[in-house]
């Protein structure tokens, strides 16, 4: 992935702030096709990654805990709206799901269905940047504990 290659080329990072600022700057400078490639690495809201036990799968599961705790009808609605969203915009729905309930995720999914494709791509990219920032902090915390 281009983002990872660019981030590696900018090393070393002397502070957490330098790392997270660079991550955000590099992300914003990427082309839309790079964003779309990153989106494909995410499970759909309400789904699991296919590599259980990996750090990414664990983080994703924790971030989507609100969807996992959803009632059966909410899970069906998440699946239906994910399908509708992907058909409309041509990419996966990306939301920083940490701390969100299934109802909040559904609300965000519904509200984002009405925008233009360009606006939605920018919104999804901004959500991906939030996720990346959170995960960088999680990674650094794990490494500090090791």
Could you write out the DSSP letters of every residue in 87-141? HHHSS------TT--HHHHHHHHHHHTTS-HHHHHHHHHHHHHHHHHHHHHHHHH
The pLDDT value recorded for residue 50 is 58
User: Which has the closest alpha carbon to 130: 38, 10, 6?
Assistant: 38
- Give the pLDDT band (50/70/90) at residue 51: low
Q: What is the mean pLDDT of residues 24-32?
A: 97
For residues 51-77, one letter each, b for 16 or more C-beta atoms within 10 angstroms of the residue's C-beta and e for the rest, the string is eeeeeeeebbeebbebbeebeeebbeb
Residue 47 pLDDT exceeds 90 = no
Q: What is the mean pLDDT of residues 36-41?
A: 93
Residue 102 pLDDT exceeds 90 = yes
Residue 32 pLDDT exceeds 90 = yes
């Amino acid at each position: 992935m281009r983002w990872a290659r660019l981030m590696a080329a900018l090393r070393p990072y002397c502070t957490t702030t330098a790392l997270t600022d660079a991550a955000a700057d590099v992300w914003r400078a990427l082309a839309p096709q790079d964003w779309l490639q990153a989106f494909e690495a995410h499970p759909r809201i309400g789904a699991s990654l296919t590599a259980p036990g990996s750090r990414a799968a664990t983080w994703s599961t924790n971030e989507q805990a609100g969807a996992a705790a959803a009632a059966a009808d909410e899970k069906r609605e998440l699946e239906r709206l994910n399908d509708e969203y992907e058909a409309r915009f041509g990419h996966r729905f990306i939301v920083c799901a940490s701390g969100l309930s299934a109802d909040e995720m559904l609300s965000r999914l519904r509200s984002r269905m009405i925008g233009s494709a360009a606006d939605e791509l920018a919104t999804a990219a901004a959500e991906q940047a939030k996720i990346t920032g959170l995960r960088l902090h999680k990674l650094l915390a794990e490494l500090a504990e090791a």
